Amino acid sequence: MKRAAFVTGFSIISSLVVIGQDASDTLPKRQEMPQILVVGYKDKLLSKVPGSVSVLRFKEIQQLAPVSGNDILRRVPGLNVVDEEGAGLRINIGVRGLDPDRSRNLLVLEDGIPVALNPYGEPELYFTPVIDKVRSIEVLKGSGQVQFGPQTIGGVVNLITADPPAEERTELRVKGGQGGFFSSYASYGNTVGNMGFNVSYLRKQADNIGPTWFRINDLSAKLRFQLSEKSSVGMKLGIYDELSNSTYVGITQAMYDAGGFDYVRLAPDDRLPVRRYNLSVTHSYQFNPNVQLQTTAFAYTTTRNWQRQDFSASSTAANQTGVIWGDPSVAGGALYMLNSNGHRNRQFEVMGVEPRLTVKGKIANRDNKINAGIRYLYEKAKEQFVIGKKASATAGDMRDNEIRSGHALSAYVQDELAITSRFSLNAGVRLESFQYNRRILRGRFPVNGATVVADTNVLAKGNVLAVIPGGGFNFVLNESLNLFGGLHRGFAPPRTKDAITSTGFAIDLDAESSWNYEVGLRFSHLQWLSGELTFFAMNFDNQIIPISQSSGNSNATGLANGGKTAHTGVEGSIQADFGKAFDWEHSLTVGTNFTYVKSRYAADRYITSGSDKINVRDNKLPYAPAFIWNGTVGFETKKGMGIRFYANYVGEQFSDELNTVNPSSNGRIGKIDSRLIVDGTAYYQVSKKLSFNISAKNLGDKRYIASRRPEGIKVGMPSFVTAGIELSL
């Protein structure tokens, strides 16, 4: 059965497998939402996918019993997932050695809808769909990304939620755990006449996951109307509301070495509320069996107002509260909390429309398919910085106020031609045009050697135009082996607030561009053994590097030109079901995958360190471990009882361009040691309607540094146990 992903202006393309087709016996029959049929490839060999693809189905997600999306996505080869606060509220994913900061180099979608604040001007992931409502996940890292945009560098992750069922269906999933952790998901759906619908509500909260507490409410609905045999309309609506004590401040190296500070709430008054509204409507019309037009309109708003307490590493700092964390006898080893805060208030709007046309036919008596589309997208960001005069102040004096907006027009065409019954080619090109501006209404300006806060009305504009080609091939060697490969141009536009300074001047910040190459082999044997081996390379003309607070730089903000970099490596995965292989009545599954990547600066680049200038050419890129490995072993009886163990190894990495080994006193610079984390789950599928599970994360209670960003060390999540029940009627 074809998976019905909800298609929007950032629709999944014809080279990506929709996860959840024949996903699990536990999934109900469902109505297909209007979509461009970008897959329909049901063979396990994925013989028409010209690139590296990972698919995670509903049953796999259930068996892992994840606390957050990080638990799932770190199992995907090629992805380096960095924890920020333990709860996975904001994912940080690096792809094949790219910097994971705020997942800037990754296009993340929910049911085909982008989830970034502003897809062009501010692609950070301050909102991440909650894993508890996700049915399946698809990850594309190879050829074919040119049909997405604007990000075509790292990859695409699509998180798919439940579609309307074909018949009445009620689901309830409840999970609880340590530290006041609680998650409840309820949904009801049905099809009545020509209308199908599914409504769901999620409540998720915790009092203590590491140092973090949070409250999440998520309400969403999908509707489908079959207007005629040829025409249908789909609609999705959603409201997401979050409040947490997320913070940037981390512990110093002295605090980490001393122990006892791992999960202390250093800034207890910090607050991050996130509110998101989204709406999308898709109309599909089938002119005939060979021609289909699908038009999608979407809009969403995100409000992200962040209140954070000020602090200093200096014992002589003014306006101290008297709260001191760490060891004042060690230079830079203590944090002095200040009686003031900053409110980083931001509101984002996005809307777009995209018609997409699919035409099937023949060229020289060979099957041919053309996909073409054009999209208009408008985005707007309003930002204010407010200075609070107490650590817990909820209001204050406005220091900065600005509006950033942009208009993007993109178009693409891709042709897929079957040269023979076993060999196919595809080639495509994408055009991206983005015009943006930044209007400063209040800001800081230099006057006679001093900085003055003043009202103003400064407007600066910029634009970027790019042509993004790509192509790939598939060669079915036999029923078990498939050879694939491709290359495409990686592209990402410059962030608006980095391309135009806070004083209204356009600076020379280039677009990010690369050439991405990939060749691989997929195999599938007798339904019990499958795997993939992929060699890849990404050569950047200019890689944009983060220098923002979120990336751990306290002296500057934004992004900068990083120059030429090179990423070369190999990914491999293999999964075996020995129960099927030997016709056992029980199931014994074993799986493993790995990523090896060498990410380095490929040209001269000089970094000032004290009075010296150091060339970092051939140095490793920050937060780019050379080796990542995942292993899984599971046993399940024919009566539905099962147990699984998961291992995740991440190699050592550096936090700065100089590849500094010895840690700085504030903890932000230094080598991050390798670590091996083991999780375990046990479950019992009583019937198709009822199941139980228990999960333990970090079984060995391994203590490790997850990140030295944004402002100090973040310690990885400790051992954590949850238990849950799932009921469907």
Query: Structure pTM?
Result: 0.89
Tell me how far apart the alpha carbons of residues 647 and 655 are, in angstroms, rounded to a whole number.
24
Contact by Cβ (8 Å): 516, 537: yes
Residues 6+ apart with CB under 8 A from 535: 518, 519, 520, 569, 570
pLDDT band at 307 (very low <50, low <70, confident <90, very high): very high
> Which tops the pLDDT comparison, 703 or 48?
703
Q: What is the mean pLDDT of residues 57-86?
A: 89
Min mean pLDDT across 38-47, 167-176, 694-703 is at 38-47
Tell me how far apart the alpha carbons of residues 618 and 226 are, in angstroms, rounded to a whole number.
58
Structure tokens at 439: 């209007």
Provide the CB-side half-sphere exposure for 153 (13 A, CA). 30
Tell me how far apart the alpha carbons of residues 70 and 87 are, in angstroms, rounded to a whole number.
9
Asked if pLDDT for residue 8 goes beyond 70, the answer is: no
Which candidate, 551, 546, 538, places its Cα nearest to that of 600?
A: 538
Q: What is the pLDDT of residue 324?
A: 96
Q: What is the pLDDT of residue 412?
A: 94
- Residue by residue, DSSP assigns 591-631 as EEEEEEEEEEE-S--EEEETTEEEE-TTPBPTT--SEEEEE
Q: What is the pLDDT of residues 394-424, one digit of tens each?
A: 999 999 999 999 999 999 999 999 999 899 9
292: Cα separation from own chain's centroid: 30
Q: What is the pLDDT of residues 490-534, one digit of tens each?
A: 888 887 777 666 666 555 567 788 999 999 999 988 889 999 999
Give the H/E segment covering residue 94.
strand 93-95
Asked if pLDDT for residue 38 goes beyond 60, the answer is: no
Structure tokens at 466: 């790019």
Q: What is the pLDDT of residues 244-255, one digit of tens each?
A: 999 999 999 999
Q: What is the pLDDT of residue 206?
A: 96
pLDDT band at 612 (very low <50, low <70, confident <90, very high): confident
Please report where in the chains the tokens 């199931």 appear, as a residue: 587
Min mean pLDDT across 19-28, 335-344, 715-724 is at 19-28
Q: What is the pLDDT of residue 543?
A: 76
> Which tops the pLDDT comparison, 471 or 53?
471
Q: What is the pLDDT of residue 155?
A: 85
What CATH number does domain 53-728 carry, 3.40.640.10, 3.40.50.300, 2.40.170.20, 3.40.50.2020? 2.40.170.20
Which candidate, 222, 195, 249, 209, places its Cα nearest to that of 111?
A: 222
Contact by Cβ (8 Å): 197, 222: yes
Q: What is the pLDDT of residue 458?
A: 87
Strand, helix or coil for residue 336: strand
Give the H/E segment covering residue 298.
strand 291-312
Sorted by where each begins, the domain ranges of the chain are 53-728
Asked if pLDDT for residue 468 goes beyond 60, the answer is: yes
